[in-house]
Protein backbone atom coordinates (compact mmCIF):
# COMPACT_ATOMS: atom_id res chain seq x y z
CA UNK A 1 0.00 0.00 0.00
CA UNK A 2 1.29 3.46 -0.91
CA UNK A 3 0.36 6.44 1.26
CA UNK A 4 0.00 10.09 0.39
CA UNK A 5 0.33 12.48 3.31
CA UNK A 6 -2.83 14.57 3.38
CA UNK A 7 -3.07 17.95 5.00
CA UNK A 8 -5.48 20.79 5.12
CA UNK A 9 -4.09 24.29 5.10
CA UNK A 10 -6.31 26.97 6.48
CA UNK A 11 -6.13 30.40 7.94
CA UNK A 12 -7.51 31.75 11.14
CA UNK A 13 -11.19 32.22 10.54
CA UNK A 14 -12.31 28.95 9.09
CA UNK A 15 -15.92 27.94 9.37
CA UNK A 16 -16.66 24.51 10.75
CA UNK A 17 -18.58 23.51 7.65
CA UNK A 18 -15.37 23.80 5.65
CA UNK A 19 -13.73 21.21 7.93
CA UNK A 20 -16.69 18.98 7.21
CA UNK A 21 -16.22 19.32 3.44
CA UNK A 22 -12.51 18.51 3.76
CA UNK A 23 -13.06 15.39 5.84
CA UNK A 24 -15.86 14.12 3.64
CA UNK A 25 -13.61 14.51 0.60
CA UNK A 26 -10.81 12.70 2.45
CA UNK A 27 -13.09 9.78 3.39
CA UNK A 28 -14.68 9.51 -0.02
CA UNK A 29 -11.34 9.55 -1.83
CA UNK A 30 -10.07 6.73 0.39
CA UNK A 31 -13.30 4.81 -0.11
CA UNK A 32 -12.89 5.24 -3.86
CA UNK A 33 -9.33 3.82 -3.79
CA UNK A 34 -10.47 0.96 -1.59
CA UNK A 35 -13.48 0.04 -3.71
CA UNK A 36 -11.50 0.36 -6.94
CA UNK A 37 -8.80 -1.90 -5.54
CA UNK A 38 -6.10 0.73 -6.01
CA UNK A 39 -3.28 0.25 -3.46
CA UNK A 40 -3.29 3.89 -2.42
CA UNK A 41 -4.58 5.74 0.66
CA UNK A 42 -4.49 9.25 2.01
CA UNK A 43 -2.91 9.51 5.44
CA UNK A 44 -4.17 12.47 7.43
CA UNK A 45 -1.26 14.30 9.05
CA UNK A 46 -3.18 17.14 10.66
CA UNK A 47 -4.20 20.62 9.79
CA UNK A 48 -1.51 23.12 8.91
CA UNK A 49 -1.75 26.73 9.93
CA UNK A 50 0.48 29.11 8.08
CA UNK A 51 2.13 31.97 9.88
CA UNK A 52 0.52 35.30 9.01
CA UNK A 53 4.02 36.51 8.14
CA UNK A 54 3.77 34.69 4.84
CA UNK A 55 0.76 36.72 3.74
CA UNK A 56 1.09 39.12 0.86
CA UNK A 57 -1.37 41.74 -0.35
CA UNK A 58 -2.83 41.37 -3.78
CA UNK A 59 -4.98 43.87 -5.62
CA UNK A 60 -7.79 42.20 -7.54
CA UNK A 61 -10.82 43.61 -9.37
CA UNK A 62 -12.79 42.89 -6.16
CA UNK A 63 -10.41 44.88 -4.04
CA UNK A 64 -7.40 44.02 -1.91
CA UNK A 65 -7.12 40.46 -0.65
CA UNK A 66 -4.49 38.76 1.49
CA UNK A 67 -3.05 35.57 0.08
CA UNK A 68 -0.18 33.16 0.49
CA UNK A 69 2.35 32.87 -2.30
CA UNK A 70 2.56 29.34 -3.54
CA UNK A 71 6.35 29.22 -3.29
CA UNK A 72 6.22 29.68 0.49
CA UNK A 73 3.56 27.03 0.84
CA UNK A 74 5.54 24.49 -1.19
CA UNK A 75 8.54 25.03 1.15
CA UNK A 76 6.40 24.38 4.22
CA UNK A 77 4.83 21.27 2.69
CA UNK A 78 8.15 19.84 1.61
CA UNK A 79 9.53 20.19 5.15
CA UNK A 80 6.36 18.69 6.58
CA UNK A 81 6.53 15.65 4.31
CA UNK A 82 10.18 15.05 5.19
CA UNK A 83 9.22 15.05 8.85
CA UNK A 84 6.39 12.57 8.29
CA UNK A 85 8.70 10.24 6.36
CA UNK A 86 11.23 10.34 9.19
CA UNK A 87 8.50 9.61 11.70
CA UNK A 88 7.09 6.69 9.68
CA UNK A 89 10.03 5.13 7.82
CA UNK A 90 8.09 1.91 7.32
CA UNK A 91 5.42 3.61 5.19
CA UNK A 92 5.69 3.76 1.42
CA UNK A 93 5.22 7.48 1.01
CA UNK A 94 6.86 10.15 -1.12
CA UNK A 95 3.97 12.48 -1.87
CA UNK A 96 1.99 15.12 0.00
CA UNK A 97 -1.39 16.54 -0.92
CA UNK A 98 -2.65 19.82 0.52
CA UNK A 99 -6.12 21.27 0.24
CA UNK A 100 -6.10 24.98 0.93
CA UNK A 101 -9.06 27.11 1.88
CA UNK A 102 -7.51 30.25 0.39
CA UNK A 103 -6.80 31.06 -3.24
CA UNK A 104 -3.36 30.29 -4.62
CA UNK A 105 -1.20 32.93 -6.19
CA UNK A 106 2.30 32.96 -7.48
CA UNK A 107 4.85 35.52 -8.52
CA UNK A 108 5.24 33.50 -11.69
CA UNK A 109 3.61 35.50 -14.51
CA UNK A 110 2.68 32.30 -16.33
CA UNK A 111 0.40 31.25 -13.52
CA UNK A 112 -2.90 31.62 -15.34
CA UNK A 113 -6.55 31.13 -14.57
CA UNK A 114 -6.46 27.51 -15.49
CA UNK A 115 -3.76 26.59 -13.00
CA UNK A 116 -5.51 28.50 -10.30
CA UNK A 117 -8.65 26.58 -10.99
CA UNK A 118 -7.05 23.19 -10.74
CA UNK A 119 -3.99 22.27 -8.76
CA UNK A 120 -0.26 22.70 -8.63
CA UNK A 121 2.45 20.07 -8.67
CA UNK A 122 6.07 20.30 -7.81
CA UNK A 123 8.77 17.68 -7.43
CA UNK A 124 11.57 18.42 -5.01
CA UNK A 125 14.40 15.95 -4.45
CA UNK A 126 12.15 13.12 -5.52
CA UNK A 127 9.26 14.19 -3.32
CA UNK A 128 6.02 15.22 -4.93
CA UNK A 129 4.05 18.18 -3.59
CA UNK A 130 0.45 18.65 -4.74
CA UNK A 131 -1.71 21.61 -3.82
CA UNK A 132 -5.34 22.24 -4.60
CA UNK A 133 -7.27 25.32 -3.54
CA UNK A 134 -10.89 24.74 -2.57
CA UNK A 135 -11.70 28.39 -3.06
CA UNK A 136 -12.63 28.32 -6.77
CA UNK A 137 -15.03 25.44 -6.08
CA UNK A 138 -17.03 27.23 -3.40
CA UNK A 139 -20.68 27.47 -4.54
CA UNK A 140 -22.06 30.93 -4.94
CA UNK A 141 -24.02 32.23 -1.99
CA UNK A 142 -22.68 29.77 0.59
CA UNK A 143 -21.02 32.50 2.65
CA UNK A 144 -24.22 34.54 2.75
CA UNK A 145 -26.36 31.54 3.69
CA UNK A 146 -24.06 30.70 6.59
CA UNK A 147 -24.59 34.17 8.03
CA UNK A 148 -28.37 33.82 8.08
CA UNK A 149 -30.46 32.59 11.00
CA UNK A 150 -30.53 28.83 10.38
CA UNK A 151 -34.23 28.15 9.80
CA UNK A 152 -35.33 24.98 8.00
CA UNK A 153 -35.12 26.53 4.54
CA UNK A 154 -31.67 27.94 5.10
CA UNK A 155 -30.43 24.63 6.50
CA UNK A 156 -31.65 22.81 3.41
CA UNK A 157 -29.98 25.33 1.08
CA UNK A 158 -26.72 25.10 3.03
CA UNK A 159 -26.83 21.28 2.79
CA UNK A 160 -27.33 21.41 -0.97
CA UNK A 161 -24.45 23.80 -1.47
CA UNK A 162 -22.12 21.84 0.79
CA UNK A 163 -22.85 18.67 -1.19
CA UNK A 164 -22.10 20.49 -4.43
CA UNK A 165 -18.91 21.92 -2.90
CA UNK A 166 -17.76 18.48 -1.76
CA UNK A 167 -18.52 16.91 -5.18
CA UNK A 168 -16.50 19.58 -6.98
CA UNK A 169 -13.50 19.32 -4.66
CA UNK A 170 -13.50 15.52 -4.74
CA UNK A 171 -13.29 15.58 -8.54
CA UNK A 172 -10.46 18.10 -8.25
CA UNK A 173 -8.61 15.81 -5.84
CA UNK A 174 -8.99 12.81 -8.16
CA UNK A 175 -7.77 14.98 -11.05
CA UNK A 176 -4.62 15.95 -9.14
CA UNK A 177 -3.98 12.40 -8.01
CA UNK A 178 -4.18 11.40 -11.68
CA UNK A 179 -1.45 13.92 -12.51
CA UNK A 180 0.50 12.76 -9.47
CA UNK A 181 0.79 9.37 -11.15
CA UNK A 182 1.61 10.69 -14.60
CA UNK A 183 -1.86 10.90 -16.17
CA UNK A 184 -2.44 13.59 -18.79
CA UNK A 185 -5.72 15.27 -19.62
CA UNK A 186 -8.22 13.24 -21.59
CA UNK A 187 -11.31 14.10 -23.60
CA UNK A 188 -13.79 11.64 -22.15
CA UNK A 189 -16.43 12.03 -19.46
CA UNK A 190 -13.77 11.79 -16.80
CA UNK A 191 -12.14 13.82 -14.01
CA UNK A 192 -9.00 14.03 -16.18
CA UNK A 193 -10.88 16.07 -18.78
CA UNK A 194 -10.09 19.61 -17.64
CA UNK A 195 -13.18 21.83 -17.55
CA UNK A 196 -13.68 25.13 -19.28
CA UNK A 197 -16.28 26.29 -16.79
CA UNK A 198 -17.76 25.30 -13.45
CA UNK A 199 -20.96 24.00 -15.12
CA UNK A 200 -18.74 21.83 -17.23
CA UNK A 201 -17.10 20.49 -14.07
CA UNK A 202 -20.44 19.89 -12.36
CA UNK A 203 -21.68 17.78 -15.24
CA UNK A 204 -18.52 15.68 -15.31
CA UNK A 205 -18.61 12.02 -14.21
CA UNK A 206 -17.11 11.81 -10.69
CA UNK A 207 -14.45 9.25 -11.56
CA UNK A 208 -11.98 8.13 -14.23
CA UNK A 209 -12.87 6.88 -17.70
CA UNK A 210 -11.79 3.28 -18.46
CA UNK A 211 -8.56 4.27 -20.09
CA UNK A 212 -7.49 6.71 -17.33
CA UNK A 213 -8.52 4.20 -14.68
CA UNK A 214 -6.32 1.47 -16.16
CA UNK A 215 -3.39 3.87 -16.49
CA UNK A 216 -3.80 5.11 -12.93
CA UNK A 217 -4.04 1.65 -11.47
CA UNK A 218 -0.98 0.48 -13.34
CA UNK A 219 0.98 3.59 -12.33
CA UNK A 220 0.06 3.24 -8.65
CA UNK A 221 0.99 -0.45 -8.63
CA UNK A 222 4.29 0.37 -10.27
CA UNK A 223 5.00 3.26 -7.90
CA UNK A 224 4.12 1.15 -4.87
CA UNK A 225 6.50 -1.55 -6.08
CA UNK A 226 9.38 0.84 -6.67
CA UNK A 227 8.88 2.47 -3.27
CA UNK A 228 9.19 -0.96 -1.75
CA UNK A 229 12.86 -1.30 -2.66
CA UNK A 230 15.57 0.14 -0.49
CA UNK A 231 15.09 0.80 3.18
CA UNK A 232 11.50 1.72 3.90
CA UNK A 233 10.57 5.25 2.97
CA UNK A 234 14.18 6.38 2.88
CA UNK A 235 14.28 6.15 -0.88
CA UNK A 236 14.02 9.69 -2.27
Which SS3 state, helix, strand or coil, does residue 139 take? coil
9 vs 120 by CB, closer to Zn ion: 120
Name which of residues 191 to 220 contact Zn ion (CB under 5 A): 192, 194, 209, 212
Of 142, 173, 126, 162, nearest to 30 by C-alpha is 173
Q: List CB contacts of 8: < 8 A, sequence separation 6 or more.
A: 19, 22, 47, 48, 98, 99, 100, 101
21 vs 192 by CB, closer to Zn ion: 192
Q: What is the distance in angstroms between the CA of the first residue and the CA of the last residue of the chain?
A: 17
Exposed/middle/buried for residue 189 (C-beta within 10 Å: 0-12, 13-18, 19+): exposed
161 vs 204 by CB, closer to Zn ion: 204
The pattern of x and - marking residues 101 through 140 that bind Zn ion according to CB under 5 A reads -----------------x----------------------
173 interacts with Zn ion by CB under 5 A:
no
Active site residues: 176
177 interacts with Zn ion by CB under 5 A:
no
11 interacts with Zn ion by CB under 5 A:
no
Question: Is the separation of the CB atoms in 191 and 175 below 8 Å?
Answer: yes
Name which of residues 141 to 160 contact Zn ion (CB under 5 A): none
190 interacts with Zn ion by CB under 5 A:
yes
Residues near Zn ion (CB under 5 A) are 118, 186, 188, 190, 192, 194, 209, 212
Amino acid sequence: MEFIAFTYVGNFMEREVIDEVVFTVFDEANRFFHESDIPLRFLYIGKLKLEPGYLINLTTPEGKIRVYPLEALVDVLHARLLREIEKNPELKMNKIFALTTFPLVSRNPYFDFYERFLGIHETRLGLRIMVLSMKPFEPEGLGELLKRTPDEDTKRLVRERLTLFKDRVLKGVLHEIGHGFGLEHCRNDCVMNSPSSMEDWDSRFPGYCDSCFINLKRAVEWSELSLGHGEGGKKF
